[in-house]
Structure 1
Amino acid sequence: MKTEEISLDIFLKNCEYEIQNPDDIKITSKQSPATEDYSDFPQLINLNNIETSIEFNLFLIEKFRFNDFSTNKAKRGREITKLRIKSLITSLRLFLNWLTVNKVDWKDETYIDDEDPVNLFKNYLIDRIKSEQNHISYESAKAYLLDVKMLYEWATHNHIINRLPFFYSIHSYTNKNTNLITSKKIPNTQIVSSSIKIPKKYKDIKVKVLSAYSSEEYEELINSDYCQTPSRQLWIRLAKEYGLRRIEIAGINDDICDCKDGLYIVTGKNAKKREIHFKEEILKDLNLYRNRKSRKNALHKYYLEHGYNNKSPLFLNTQGNRISEKTISNIIYPVKDEFKAKGIIFDKTFHDLRATYAVERVMSLLKQGIKMEHIEYVVTDELGHNLFETTKRYLQIRSARISWINQSGVGEFLKEIELADDNQSEDILDDFL
């Protein structure tokens, strides 16, 4: 089975297509003038479930164009970005694959009790939360389920199915913390609750919590004796200043030094590509590293083994092979030993540098006065995530929230732009997260 994003005109129910091979299809229908503007619209397809793929793409295009089918009237008609559509594709791809593997009809209305497709998918997500080998976070599972429920709202709105396999109820509560500044009467807040949700007890099943470096911790790392080699210095900076994963750092080729306007495409997990704008300072240092004698010696060995090409790896080991991801992240362990000998406990990871980029980017955007609802899309896109729920893992360090506010200076930033006083910094960040 293969599921992939494509840019074809398949959101029309009556489109004609030809299966070229198990990994490809060809759309033979001609585009109508009404759909020409959507020829590059992000879509998904499962070649073993074409008809459902087309129905899901109908949902995506109507969500983007109209967004008029939510049961919550306040959410109807809100502008939807293509980035949001891509996050919906992530959820729907998971649902589509699950439907196909288990031979479930998503429109089935003959279910008994809690055996409807949405409840069965919810149970699958819970199993993934509990799984060690195929784990997903509670927040991701929650986001996937919400997106699938949105699909069903659209289906009932368009009479594709006759009824929702779940129901909503409305509850009201008063948030006393909202009246910290004014003396106005505290308004009631309405909460819409669904009959199908991921139980909160699964919040306790978590992977390691990411934790951004404080400025002191970063200085300790970058100035450690073990990290004084040019390559290690660059790896640390690429992760912290640009949010690169170790796989993206390892995959950089030496053509990055020749990129125009500082724009370069890095390749991340699942071969996903994203464009990064590198500053002149880092490009200059990368070029200096490229021309070092030790690197040229390693490059000679690479050419002997692989032949000459103009996209050789930038970072090579002494044997002339592309540096491995593990080699990059493992630089932390000698640093820990180095500090341990001095009586200092250093409990950070290399991946925490990426969390540092996320935190500092949020702080920077807040300082510029960017609205929080826009910040989540910017940071999600820059980290190469499909869902903000994933990005939140890089920002949620609740167990050390107070010390993080003090060390990072985010509290000062919030006060500077008059968003909060000392007592409100934590509440502001909680609202954001």
Structure 2
Amino acid sequence: MKVVKPNVNLGDLPYFDSQLSNEQILRDISFHFDREVPNFPRLRSLTRIHDVLEMNLFLEHRYKGLFMPPRRANKINNLGGVSVLTLNSTAYSLSIFLAWLEEHNVAWQEVIAIAPSEKAKYWLPVYRFRKHLIERVEAKEIGRDSANLYMNHIRQFYEWALKQRRIDKIPFEYKTKIIKKKRKDGDIDFLFAGQFAQERGITVTTTDLLIPKKYKQKTFNQNELAPYSSEELELLYGSQELMKPASRLWVELAHQCGLRADEVATFPASAVKDPVLSLHKIFYVEITGKLSKTRKVMVSSVLMASLWAYLNSTERQRRLSKWQLEQGNSHAAPLFINRSGKPMIAKSVSNVISKVRAELNGKTLERDFHDLRSTFATNLAKFMLKQNLPIGFIQYKLMQLLGHSDFSTTQKYINFARSETFDKQMSSWVDKLFGEHLPSIHDDLLAIQQGDNHE
């Protein structure tokens, strides 16, 4: 059971283009309109062929936007579906599920319990697989977040199967949950502000497939955070690799905006503006991140000027011309394109740190590309703490800019930013990086306060 990544034609209006000859076993399929998708994830198995065909069709429908189309997906997929990056994650989850089904000789289509009782439903394949994941979490083979991601993709597959009438009912239950966050001090909690702050919360619909919090591994240890020190940043920015315009911009988008490698690779060219023609000191750019969620990030005028220069550089125009020969439409092109005129991939972006390590001649650089995002989050937390902004607003702003959905994930950066060690190492970098952001941050705070007063 494995995931392969062939080039796939997802064109429109398929037809058989020839008669069968004596040598042919299968007729060739052609399309009236070709749509080649490179490295499209497909499940492959010699023992579960029917299941693989079903799941591959599900992946195709997700990509084409025929099932659960994400909001504003056309920025990364002009068919209206999810990105290939998201599909890779989904395909991996399905491959784990299929391997488990094969190992236990189970049919995923079994959706009705033998007895109509709460206990009996846990014999259904989807709940047995959930139990298998819980055991792996307890054994510390995978994290709880990974297990929940697998279950989320399996849930989507079953919902698709119901819509396609492959099954008669959903083999799990939905439930409504209210997420509350009570105030523990005098600070305004801007996420849940209002007259009834103690009772109000965000209502979400979930399923009983989630892995319970009691299985969560030990709480975050502050020492596990790995932001760059000022010395490591100096090594990084002083390297020959970062003399290359694209490499330097990749690092700056992660370090100054908190972008992940895949978010840098798909950064929209349409978001790049000439700051000279604008009165704005800060530019808000909408990006599509993890699980196809969209959020707005802050880009300083200095960084935007660098992005604008790269957008209009000779090298980028040369790569864009190759893109146009293959894709036709230059408006959908991302900012960063490889030498072959194809979209840049996340691995190429993150490899910039490996290239820097190779040239350091004995000096060590232990951090990786994702640690630049940690550096951004910790820096910004430190900056806002120094401005004496309300802790509720700091939590809100960090969650908004990083795309977090969990308070605890955001809080670890605030805790680390308060530490004495970080203060000594990074205080000079903090003011340098985020001084230009201060008016915009204060505007956001004022807008929330005024909105709260009008309720």
TM, length-normalised to structure 1: 0.50
TM, length-normalised to structure 2: 0.48
